[in-house]
Structures are given as structure tokens and as C-alpha cells.
Chain A
Amino acid sequence: EFRRFSLERSKPGKFEEFYGLLQHVHKIPNVDVLVGYTDIHGDLLPINNDDNYHKAVSTANPLLRIFIQRKEDADYSAFGTDTMTRKKNVLSNVLRPDNHKKKPHIVISMPQDFRPVSSIIDVDILPETHRRVRLYKYGTDKPLGFYIRDGSSVRVTPHGLEKVPGIFISRLVPGGLAQSTGLLAVNDEVLEVNGIEVSGKSLDQVTDMMIANSRNLIITVRPANQRNNVVRNSRTSGSSGQSTESSLPSSTPNMLGNLQGEEESDEEDIIIEDSGEPQQIPKAAPTSESIESLSQIELLHESTQNGFLPSSEMNLNHSAGSISMEYEVPEPGRKSLEEDGTIITL
């Protein structure tokens, strides 16, 4: 069964309250449940603390799909990256755990303090030799923990092979965010920082760009080790049921993709008024004056997204005071989830 209700986007409240609300809406006050949601990449991710709850609310677009399952018959393996896209039948797995008996899962435990620390994004629009990694610095005390250096790489140009200067990862700090993700390695060549190509820029410029984006750093690299590349699912098997995607111009390297996804998360400047409590600085409601700036952002997308139609809705949501949430308990065979890794949100 599914329910649909609305929540105020700007004041999502605490996870506890939300959990209570879910139990209330479903009239299951004493049943322990696992709560999950699908993020914009179609991943089924858990909601079990304030952080990922707020994150979930902020990704509502405008709908947020929430899944709940009883804790006792939960399938933990359903969670994680690409769960909703790679697995053909996530939903049936969730609903019918007995399907899984052929391949018993070792359940260690559900991570209690779940937070994303990194992700590979835009797999579908980048060449297979490239990898776009997002490092989520906010909310963790871990240092980003890597160094970059100058170097040279070989490129295929109209004049044959040419050596061109490039920027490379020179060192990973043990225990740092970069190392812990396992997505970046020494000698990976850095191609873009938050969607901006680094070619022609000096080491210091690239350093400054990375530091300026450090709260939401998205690095596109050409991994030194090309054997572990993510193989694009639409090519390897038809299992994803997303054959429609193959029509996408998937080899364009400079796609913006999801680069703007978490744009605002790093903008939480803090104000202390009259020596009171620190508060986050809100965004001013757009007035006629700021329309120009808004249109500028849109135009930026228009020029960079290579044929994807911008959703006009998104910009409106940008400042909407509340969001509505779609809430459903999936039914077998229902192909409910749309997956489009190329959606741009503000």
C-alpha cells in the first residue's frame, strides 16, 4: 500500500519525528521498520538519522519516494549504490525475501550512522575510461586527504600522439576521505573539478578550485588503473530494463551531469545575531532584482547540458517553501522508479 503526504521542505524536523509520523500514517505504532528512499540516481538509501533524513528531504524533486520494511524481514543488501538501477528486481527482493534464499546474504549489521561519503556519478554520460567522483566533506571530520602534482599525459590529437601537461593525484593521506572511498588513487589524472576542465590551468589554480569546492568536491579523473572501471550497465546486460538510455549521447566527456546536485549544501553560512545562537543564513526569496541571476544559472545549464531538456519545474522548486512527498509501499512488478542520472537540480 502507499500513502502520500506533504512535508515542509525548509523545516523537515528531526528524524525521530519523521519516524513517528510514518508509524502514525501507517498505523503501525509499535512495529520496528527500516526506512529507505530513492535518491536521484535511483539508489535505495536508508534513512536512520537526522543527516540522511535531511539529505533525503533536500533531494525531493519534488516527490520523495520512501520505502519502509519491517526490521525483522529486512533485506540489507537492497541498500546501497545503484541498488535500484542495477538490480533488475529490487522491489521484488524487498518484498519477497524468500527469493534470496539461493544466495544467502551475510548480514553484518545495518550501519547506524549512515551517511554518504563518496559516490561515482554520471557513469552513463562519461566515457568508460573516466570516473567522476563526488566526495562529501560536510558532516565528517575526516580530512579530504590527498595531494596533487603536475605531470604529463599522452593524448590523441589530430597530429597524432602528443604529450600534454596534466594534473595528477600524487598522494593519498592514510585515513583521509579520498583514501577511504577507494575511488581515487595515486597517479589518477584529474580532468575536471566540479565540471570545469583543468586543462590549461596551473597546479595552483587547480588547488584553489578544489579547495573552493572542498565542501562538495566533484573530481573527474582518468584512473591510472583502468581495469576497475565501472562497466556501463546499459551495454553489458539488458538486465536493467533501461534500454532507453542507450540512446543517450553517452560518450560526451564534458557533460555536467549531476555536478550541481548538492550545490546549496556548501552554502550554509552562519549568522549570530546579537550574540545569540548561531543560525544558518537563509536564502532570500527571489525578488524581481535577482531574476537576472537566476536566469544566468539556467542559461549556464542550457549551454552545457548537451541536449537534455531542462525541467522548468526544477527552478520553481528552488525557492518553494514546502515539498510534497510521495510515499509508497511498492507492489511486485510495478516499475515505478524513473532513473535518470542526468537530471540537473539546483
Chain B
Amino acid sequence: MRRFLRPGHDPVRERLKRDLFQFNKTVEHGFPHQPSALGYSPFLRLMAIGTRSGAIKLYGAPGVEFMGLHEENNTVMQIHFIPDQCQLVTLLDDNSLHLWSLKQHGGASELREEHRFTLKGPPGSPPSATQVTAVLPHSSREVLYLGTESGNIFVVELPSFRVLEDRTITPEAVLQRIPEDNCNRRSCELVEALREHPKNPDQILIGYSRALIVLWDLQNNKAIHHFLGSQQLENLYWQRDGSKFISCHYDGSYTQWPVSSDNRQSEPLENTVPYGPFPCKAISKIYWQTTKNGLPYIIFQGGMPRASYGDRHSISVIHGSQQTAFDFTSRVIDFFIIFSSDPAAEYDDPSALVVLAEEELVVIDLKSAGWPAVHPPYLASLHCSAITCSHHVSNIPLKLWERIISAGSKQNIHYSSMPWPIDGGTNIAPDPPQRDLLLTGHEDGTVRFWDASGVCLHLLYKLSTVRVFLTDADPNDNMNTLGEDEWPPLRKVGTFDPYSDDPRLGIQKIYLCKYSGYLAVAGTAGQVLVMELNDEDAEHVVDHAEADLLQDQEGYRWKGHEKLKTRDGPVRFEAGFQPFVLVQCQPPAVVTSLALHSEWKLVAFGTSHGFGLFDHQQKRLVFVKCTLHPSDQLAMEGPLSRVKSLKKSLRQSFRRIRRSRVSSRKRRGGGGNASEVQEANAKFDQDALQEMELAPVQRKIEARSAEDSFTGFVRTLYFADTFLRDSSRHCPSLWAGTNGGTVYAFCLRVPPAERRMDEPVRAEQAKEIQLMHRAPVVGILVLDGRSTPLPEPLEVAHDLSKSPDMQGSHQLLVVSEEQFKVFTLPKVSSKLKLKLTALEGCRVRKVTVANFGSCKTDDYSENDLAVLTNLGDIQIISLPFLKLQIRYPCIRKEDVSGIASCVFTKYGQGFYLISPSEFERFSLSTKWLVEPRCIVDMPEVTSNNHVHNKSGTENAARKSSVGDCGEDERKSGRLMEHALLNDEKVLKEIQSTLEGGR
């Protein structure tokens, strides 16, 4: 009877599947791609970032995040929070306005778009008549003032966006009330800035582009004052008490103006060109912040001398005699100052400067001496140097976690100790179920360790492999060589650095053993480093070996890059992961696969030429195996070859895009090399374009053959303790799979621990399987007698319940791009298969074993294969019967770099790059879900003159109690972090009290 049940219609299994699998894209980590606007609400203490693709993201305290997307996908030009409300208005580049609000729903706040509106002029009027250039949300929360290109200022009612036509401030009306002969209609073209008087909500300051500034009385519709500058206006800012304001101009000057009741036409108090006397660039935005000691902070963007520093992206802070021009590596989008928001306070007392640059967020602590940067808990620039690979490790033991954090904290001493100043909202998500690490390898030879446990992807520690090698770049050659007396006083800030000294340093493969703390990384020039975690700085010699993967092969000549030169003698390493073994593959082709067995102390590595096994205990090469097919000449061409994998060329084009974006505004330094690269890139583009035009859109249908190129490319390496030769004795083994569908199995003899240093490790080839369909082998796995995947090295030693079944017969699972096949062991006979490509026309890109727990019953969990295909679909395939469980579309199939960057976790989650700087996190599991869940409450309205909100006070009273509770949680959050660093017991205590409290 059972055999006639359709596989898809077993009701029990179907129910179980619902309890196990569920697809969600949960959160975006990293820095938004192409940010275009910034907003801040001092009232909510939330920051908003808009992007060129129409996304809007809100950030508050760590874990408090919201995201919205404008349907139009147009660039967000401006973001304005409505004063004292959970609402904000966005202006897009199609001149549409959108009202968003944070509303509570099901216990958590959500960001929703409420209304949209496009200003319409009278019929026949030019589009510029209604092109919005300045937005002022009035403190009454009832109206928005919209300044336009035509000089008209329209008034719209909130939240309905109804235009109050009788209140429109026309240029004609303004001019009528200014008894000035030298003002004409043109003076009132284009509204640059609208600022409400800080003390009197009935007055607004209107700044027109042609330097006419008018203080307008809204009640009586008349100009109280007008001010006429000599230079084109860029922006305006009020002093806190409303007695003065400051204007900044196109010529790099700023001007202070007095506002007094007696004289109607004012002369400026002071006009300064801070970086004069030579022509300067525009100052596009300026802040004037008062302090108790009387010396104001003047903070402005731009104004650099046009000729020598015109290409810098700078923000200057002037405070008395102190002056610093913070120098950013990418364009400044916008910035704001965090200052005392209490209207009763006498001074602004600024505490932090928050700068949104095109590639990173930088926060400067203005309270501490030297104005140090604050380490952001989120919005990390993942792409400081381009990401080349990633590796995820779930469930890190506490001890290792602490040691990594402690190594990282030593690297962060130059950061300010100020708590994160943007701390609105309350994170109500449950604590992450476990400690997870995401490791990213970068083009500049660094590996970054990210805390991927929760919603905030946070940098814990950065490891650089550069020190092991001799590179051309002089380590002292950076932009901070400017002396004390240099003018302008530039100071480089931020971490984004798109320039890689040497592409050979790029990291390609990472493997971390979480039990032993051994880390193996492998790179572009065939380098393989084995490292150990050391809590102290140390100076030692790195053992160096070479692995000639071509061995006896004759007639090959490597045309690619040279191998990296190593440093002779001892090298000083800072606390953290310190390399002790370096193996360099010969030819120095990119390492394509890597495996580390921390118990046997062996590391295996593969390139397009073959693979090798190195004993890092005895520091001896055990064997190498050449996988090159005699006819495959292309494998020798190296990375400069035109015939490269698509992935590579895509990454290159990504890089090119990024470079061109940055370099167009970047300093001209670097000399001829950069232009050469650009030229080469341009040529490459042209060639690629030509190729595309010539080739008709057709596909060749041909069986794969042994003569295809890159068949020897080693795609996967796998260590297993299994029955390779006979069914009575199991032994260590190494498995390798190639691009040509070949699987090699080597039988290893590892001496017992007590004689580990005395006897050599031996290896002998035991099997070679050639899959007839010859598709690339992307995964190899051995299932134990209970059909459970074999545990990781040392996993059993740390958790006895997981020891594999060595009694029953083992099975070998080989995953190629096209098929899943199960073979018996030790005698290889085929048992089961799933021909994915033949059935669906998709190919396997990534495959991992993932453990899925049921959301209904705690004690049920099962292992399945999580598979990402070249179409961007994710499929879950059961083990050991290879039945498709469920399929979800995840990544667009055109997004090749997204698909290439995907990593799965051991518990059914995953990450992939949605842009060079952002990881999308997704979950396939009903049980393991990390997503933002937070509440933003209206804080208490402290102001006395803003009592428009009728239920304001009672609302605030209720909210404040919630706010207190939130404060508690924040505190305990910090406490917990501290505890993590110190003692597991304390952690448990805190956890239990927290749980008791809930």
C-alpha cells in the first residue's frame, strides 16, 4: 500500500514538513548600497537612511531596525522626521512625497507607508514650478512647507497632503513686502532652505538660491527681516536662541547674521572663508552649536581649497582653536549632529557627529579629547575591501568566543568609549539562540570575524595575513603622514579602502575549527596558512613549505602571477590568530578547495592543478596528486587568462563599478599604475562587448568530455573516518572531487597520539570514481550506519552523544552539479540517485547538510541537504533518500554574484550578498529565525509649548514606563556582554534572572 502513496501526499510527512521548513528573508546586514539621503529624529533617537533604489532603513539602538521600500524604486532625495511624532516624510527624485509611520502591530512596531503625494501646479505651469527643493515639517505637526524651484512655498496639511492654497507664499508676495530696489523677481527663484525659528513657531527663515534670505511671519504674512548676501546660498542654520543664524555659500564662505527687532535690513556680523584665500568649493551644509563655555562648534561640509584639495570629501569641525577636517574615502551624502534635544536646555552641547558617506557610516565623539571615532554596532562596511569568500561557523563554544572578542578589543583601542549615541527604540527580540561567527575573506588579505548571532552584524576581530609576505606596498605610505602644522588639518577617518595593494593576497577559502581554534585560510596565489589562536603578541618564524602539484607532468608552463614572496626570519604577530605554517602551491594558482582536520592535524588544499595533504604537526607534506588532464592547457594560463570562470569576471566588473564610482572623486595619487589598470579595464570591457555582439544567442548542446578544460580543478575536499577498504576496519580518509566528475579517495594512516611526532602520516590512493555524466563534484559526504552525516573533527570529543555509528554500513553521497548519488561503502555500488538537472534544468551551486528542528516538538530534528541552484532557488532534499522536500525562490537567477556568495549555516539559515556591502540573511527553518523585532514608543513630550497632541501627556506617561523597562534591558544587554567576556556562570545567572523577570 505504501508504495502507491504519492511522495507529495503523505499527510504525516506533509504536516511534519510544515513544522520543519519555512522560508523567510529576515534581515539585511551591512551597509546599504548607494545611500542617497539621511534623516534623524532627536525625539525618537532614530536615524533614517534612504537609498538610490528607493529603500528606507531606520536604525536605533542595536537590534532596532526597520525597512521600507518605495514602490517606485526611485532615489530617496530627502528624509524629514515629523517633530515629536513616529512619522517621517521622504522626497523622491520623481518629486513625490511619502508619509511613513511606525505603528505597533502584534506587539512590535512596523514601518508602513501611509500616504503619497505629488505637488501639482496650475495647468500649463512648467514642472519646475512644483519641483520641491526644500521641505520643512512644522513643529505644529499639522503642515509641511515645501520650497520649490519656482520660489513658491506651498503649504500642505498633514497627514492628508491637502494643499492649503491660501497659505502659499509666492515670490510676488515676498517682494511686495521688501522695500528694496535691487531685489527683483529673480532674487526669489529656487528655495534652498527653510528653517523654523527655534523659539517662535510662527516665524520661518526662507533662503533663496540667489542669496536673499527672508524671515517670514506666518501669522501676518509679512517679512519681518530680509538679508542680502553676496554669494549664492547653500544652506542656513539657526543659533539655538534664535538671535542669530548662519548661512553657507557656494564660494566656500559662511556668514553670521544678527536678528534684532529694530533694523530691517541687516548687515552680516561676520563673513569667513575658512579655507581661503584661494578659491574654495561650496559649503553645502552647516551647523552652529552652542556650548556652556561659550565657544561654539561650527561644523560644515565641504569648503576645501578648490585647486589642491577640491577632490576631498570632508567635514570640518571648528571649536575655538581646534579645527579638524575629517577626510572620507567616499563622497559624503549627508551628516547630522546629536545634541541636547531638551528644548529647555540653554545650550546645544553637541555630543556626536554622524556622517553618512557613500560607503560607510562614521560617528565622531565630540565630547572626548581628540574627537575619536565611535565603533558602530551595525551598518558595518562589509566591503572595506571587497569580499572574496565567506565561511559560517555555528554554535561557537564560549571559550573561543571570549578569546576572539578579547583579541578584537585590543585592536579597537583607538575607538571612543562613548556608548552608541543613536539609541532609540527597544529591541524585544529574544536573545540569539547561540553564538555564531561569520568569517569573510577579503581582497586585501584580511579575514574579518563577525558576530552573526543576532540582528546586528558586528565586527569582533580582524585578521591580516599580509604580514607573512613581502609586498611592494610600504606599510607607512598612507594618507596620515601629514604633519601637525599641515593646512588644511585633514584627518582620515573610516575604514573603507577600495584599493588592494596586491590582488594575490586575496583570501579564497577559510576553515575554522571551533573546538581547537585552528584556522586555515587559503588565497589567490596558492598560499595556505594554518593558524592558531594566541592570546598574547608573539614573534616567531612561520614554517614554510612548497607543494609542487604538477609533480611529474612535463611540458606545462604557468603563465599566471608569481607566488608571493615570504618574509625571512621571525615575524611579529599581534594577539589573535597567528600563522605557524605556510604552504605555497606550485604553480601558484588560486586555491579552490580547503579542508582542515584538527584532530589528525592535517590540512588538505586543492587548485586547478591538483591537491595536496600537509601534516601541520610534523610540518611535512604528506602527498600531492596532480589532477590535470594532459590536454588541458587552459589551466596553465593563470588568472590573467581571458577564459576565466564567469564568477571571476563578474567580481571584476563589480570591482570596476565600485572603483569607477570612487575613483572619479578620489585623489589623483598612485601615479600611472591606476590609469594603466583603468585602461586595461576599458579594453576588457570593449572586448567583452564585442564578444557579446558577435555571438548569437544560442547554446551548444554537447556531452561533457574528459577533454573539456578545467576538468582537473579540485572543487571539494573532505576528511572522513570510514570504511574505505573493507567493512571490518575503518580508517581516516581524504576525499577529493574535481570539475570533471572524478572522485579520489585516499586511505590515510595517522600515527596514534603518543607516536604522532615519531612516525610519518602515510596516504595511499584507494579509490577513484569517474561519474559518467562528468559534471563538477560540488559535495562529498559520508553517512554513518544510521544514515547520519559523520561528525566534524573533535565534535565527538566535545559532545559524546554525537558519536557516529561505526557498526552499520556507511554510505557515500556524491553531489555533482547535476546529480545526487548515494553509493555503498566499502564496495562502491550505486544505491540511489536524484537527477536534478535532467528533471529541472537547474544545477547545484551550493550544498550543505543542515539540521532542522521542529517548531512543535522539541525533541525532533533531522538532517537534510540545503541546496542552492544556479537559478537562485533553494531546495531542501531529504537524507538519506534524496527526496525533494520543498523549494523556495530566493535569489534572482541573473544575480550571479549573489548566488556565488551564498553560505548556509548548520541550522538552516544562510547569507548572500545583495550588493558588495550587504548580506541578506534568510532562514529555511521554523525554529531558528533571527529577525529584528522591536518597539519604538513615543518618548515623553517634554516641551511645554508643543501641546497640540491632546492625549499627549497620558500617552507619554504610559510610554515612559515601557521606556524604563527598555532602559533596563539595554543595561542588562551591556552587562551580559561584559559577562560573556568574563565568566560563564555570571552569564547564566543573568540569563536566569532575565527569564524569571519575563
Our verdict on whether A and B bind, yes or no, reads yes
Provide the bound-state CA to CA distance between A1 and B3, in Å.
43
Inter-chain contacts of B768 with A (CB < 8 A) = 271-272, 275
Interchain CB contact under 8 A, A203 and B871: no
Which residues of chain A from 176 to 195 have a CB within 8 Å of any chain B CB?
193-194
Inter-chain contacts of A194 with B (CB < 8 A) = 838
User: Which partner residue on chain A sits nearest B821 by CB separation?
Assistant: A269
User: Which partner residue on chain B sits nearest A178 by CB separation?
Assistant: B701
How far, in Å, is A141 (CB) from chain B's closest CB?
Answer: 9
Over the window 858-889 of chain B, the binary record of Cβ atoms lying under 8 Å from chain A Cβ atoms (1 yes, 0 no) is: 00000000000011000000001111000000
Inter-chain contacts of B833 with A (CB < 8 A) = 267
Does residue B398 face the partner (Cβ distance < 8 Å to A)?
no
Does residue B775 face the partner (Cβ distance < 8 Å to A)?
yes
How far, in Å, is B832 (CB) from chain A's closest CB?
Answer: 5
Interchain CB contact under 8 A, B882 and A208: no
Interchain CB contact under 8 A, A212 and B702: no
> Known contacts A272-B767, A292-B881, A299-B3: does B838 contact A147 (CB below 8 Å)?
no
Interchain CB contact under 8 A, A281 and B841: no
Which residues of chain B from 728 to 776 have a CB within 8 Å of any chain A CB?
765-773, 775
How far, in Å, is A290 (CB) from chain B's closest CB?
Answer: 6
Provide the bound-state CA to CA distance between A137 and B702, in Å.
10
Inter-chain contacts of A209 with B (CB < 8 A) = 837-841
Does residue B835 face the partner (Cβ distance < 8 Å to A)?
yes
Inter-chain contacts of B893 with A (CB < 8 A) = 202
Interchain CB contact under 8 A, A283 and B699: no
Does residue B210 face the partner (Cβ distance < 8 Å to A)?
no
Does residue B842 face the partner (Cβ distance < 8 Å to A)?
yes
> Known contacts A211-B704, A275-B765, A299-B7: does B772 contact A170 (CB below 8 Å)?
no
How far, in Å, is B348 (CB) from chain A's closest CB?
Answer: 59
Provide the bound-state CA to CA distance between A213 and B821, in Å.
16
Inter-chain contacts of B769 with A (CB < 8 A) = 269-272, 281
Interchain CB contact under 8 A, A208 and B837: yes
Provide the bound-state CA to CA distance between A46 and B949, in Å.
96
Inter-chain contacts of A275 with B (CB < 8 A) = 765, 768
How far, in Å, is A200 (CB) from chain B's closest CB?
Answer: 10
Inter-chain contacts of A294 with B (CB < 8 A) = 3
Interchain CB contact under 8 A, A146 and B841: no
> Known contacts A147-B701, A194-B838, A271-B767: does B830 contact A283 (CB below 8 Å)?
yes
Which residues of chain A from 130 to 185 have a CB within 8 Å of any chain B CB?
137, 143-150, 170-171
Which residues of chain B from 813 to 869 have a CB within 8 Å of any chain A CB?
818-819, 821, 823-824, 828-833, 835, 837-843
> Known contacts A194-B838, A269-B772, A293-B881: does B701 contact A303 (CB below 8 Å)?
no
Interchain CB contact under 8 A, B3 and A295: yes
How far, in Å, is A58 (CB) from chain B's closest CB?
Answer: 16
- Contact check: which of B787, B824, B830, B880 meets A267 at CB < 8 Å? B830
User: Which partner residue on chain B sits nearest A150 by CB separation?
Assistant: B697
Inter-chain contacts of B818 with A (CB < 8 A) = 208, 212
Which residues of chain A from 260 to 293 have a CB within 8 Å of any chain B CB?
266-275, 278, 281-284, 289-293
Interchain CB contact under 8 A, A298 and B3: yes
Does residue B2 face the partner (Cβ distance < 8 Å to A)?
yes
Provide the bound-state CA to CA distance between A213 and B703, in Å.
8
Interchain CB contact under 8 A, A170 and B702: no
Interchain CB contact under 8 A, B842 and A215: no
Inter-chain contacts of B703 with A (CB < 8 A) = 137, 143-144, 211, 214-215
User: Which partner residue on chain A sits nearest B705 by CB separation?
Assistant: A143
Which residues of chain B from 7 to 31 have a CB within 8 Å of any chain A CB?
7
Does residue B487 face the partner (Cβ distance < 8 Å to A)?
no
Chain B interface size band reads 35 or more
User: Which partner residue on chain A sits nearest B893 by CB separation?
Assistant: A202
> Known contacts A214-B703, A293-B832: does B883 contact A266 (CB below 8 Å)?
no
- Contact check: which of B5, B841, B881 meets A208 at CB < 8 Å? B841
Interchain CB contact under 8 A, B835 and A282: no
Does residue B985 face the partner (Cβ distance < 8 Å to A)?
no
Provide the bound-state CA to CA distance between A145 and B700, in Å.
8
Does residue B696 face the partner (Cβ distance < 8 Å to A)?
yes
Interchain CB contact under 8 A, A296 and B7: yes
Inter-chain contacts of A145 with B (CB < 8 A) = 702
User: Which partner residue on chain A sits nearest B9 by CB separation?
Assistant: A299
How many chain A residues have a CB neighbour from B under 8 Å? 57
Provide the bound-state CA to CA distance between A240 and B828, in Å.
48
Inter-chain contacts of A210 with B (CB < 8 A) = 701
> Known contacts A212-B837, A266-B773: does B696 contact A170 (CB below 8 Å)?
yes
How far, in Å, is A271 (CB) from chain B's closest CB?
Answer: 5
Provide the bound-state CA to CA distance between A211 and B819, in Å.
12
- Contact check: which of A213, A278, A281 meets B830 at CB < 8 Å? A281
Provide the bound-state CA to CA distance between A241 and B701, in Å.
40
- Contact check: which of A203, A270, A272, A298 meets B699 at CB < 8 Å? A203
Inter-chain contacts of A16 with B (CB < 8 A) = none
Provide the bound-state CA to CA distance between A66 and B6, in Å.
39
User: Which partner residue on chain B sits nearest A147 by CB separation?
Assistant: B698
Provide the bound-state CA to CA distance between A144 and B698, in Å.
15
Over the window 202-229 of chain A, the binary record of Cβ atoms lying under 8 Å from chain B Cβ atoms (1 yes, 0 no) is: 1111111111111101000000000000
Interchain CB contact under 8 A, B698 and A149: yes
Provide the bound-state CA to CA distance between A145 and B701, in Å.
7
Provide the bound-state CA to CA distance between A273 and B769, in Å.
9
- Contact check: which of B6, B871, B882 meets A293 at CB < 8 Å? B882
Provide the bound-state CA to CA distance between A214 and B774, in Å.
11
> Known contacts A208-B841, A272-B768, A299-B7: does B823 contact A149 (CB below 8 Å)?
no
User: Which partner residue on chain B sits nearest A264 by CB separation?
Assistant: B830
Does residue A201 face the partner (Cβ distance < 8 Å to B)?
yes
User: Which partner residue on chain B sits nearest A219 by CB separation?
Assistant: B701
How far, in Å, is A315 (CB) from chain B's closest CB?
Answer: 10
Inter-chain contacts of B842 with A (CB < 8 A) = 205, 208
Provide the bound-state CA to CA distance between A271 and B826, in Å.
12
How far, in Å, is B881 (CB) from chain A's closest CB?
Answer: 5
Provide the bound-state CA to CA distance between A209 and B833, in Å.
16
User: Which partner residue on chain A sits nearest B768 by CB separation?
Assistant: A272
> Known contacts A269-B770, A275-B765: does B701 contact A281 (CB below 8 Å)?
no
User: Which partner residue on chain B sits nearest A265 by CB separation?
Assistant: B772
Provide the bound-state CA to CA distance between A144 and B830, in Å.
27
User: Which partner residue on chain A sits nearest B826 by CB separation?
Assistant: A273
Inter-chain contacts of A204 with B (CB < 8 A) = 699, 841, 870
Does residue A196 face the partner (Cβ distance < 8 Å to B)?
yes
Inter-chain contacts of A290 with B (CB < 8 A) = 831-832
Inter-chain contacts of B770 with A (CB < 8 A) = 269-272, 278
- Contact check: which of A193, A208, A266, A291 meets B772 at CB < 8 Å? A266
How far, in Å, is A275 (CB) from chain B's closest CB?
Answer: 6
Interchain CB contact under 8 A, B830 and A212: no
- Contact check: which of B701, B771, B824, B840 meets A211 at CB < 8 Å? B701
Interchain CB contact under 8 A, A146 and B701: yes
Does residue A331 face the partner (Cβ distance < 8 Å to B)?
no
Provide the bound-state CA to CA distance between A302 and B4, in Å.
9
Inter-chain contacts of A207 with B (CB < 8 A) = 699-701
Provide the bound-state CA to CA distance between A171 and B697, in Å.
12
- Contact check: which of A137, A208, A266 meets B843 at CB < 8 Å? A208
Interchain CB contact under 8 A, B697 and A215: no
- Contact check: which of B5, B6, B829 meets A283 at CB < 8 Å? B829
Interchain CB contact under 8 A, B767 and A289: no
> Known contacts A270-B769, A271-B828: does B698 contact A299 (CB below 8 Å)?
no
How far, in Å, is B648 (CB) from chain A's closest CB?
Answer: 19
Provide the bound-state CA to CA distance between A215 and B831, in Å.
20
Of the A-B pairs whose beta carbons lie under 8 Å apart in the complex, a sample of 19, sorted by A's number, is A144-B701, A148-B699, A149-B696, A149-B697, A150-B697, A201-B841, A205-B871, A207-B699, A208-B842, A208-B843, A209-B838, A211-B837, A266-B773, A267-B833, A269-B772, A271-B828, A283-B830, A293-B881, A296-B883
Query: Contacts A208-B837, A211-B703, A290-B832 given; 16 further ones with Cβ under 8 A?
Result: A137-B703, A147-B698, A148-B701, A171-B698, A207-B700, A209-B838, A209-B839, A211-B704, A212-B835, A267-B833, A268-B772, A270-B770, A270-B772, A274-B767, A282-B829, A298-B3
Per CB-CB distance, the 6 closest pairs between chain A and chain B, nearest first, are A205-B841, A295-B3, A214-B703, A212-B837, A207-B699, A272-B768
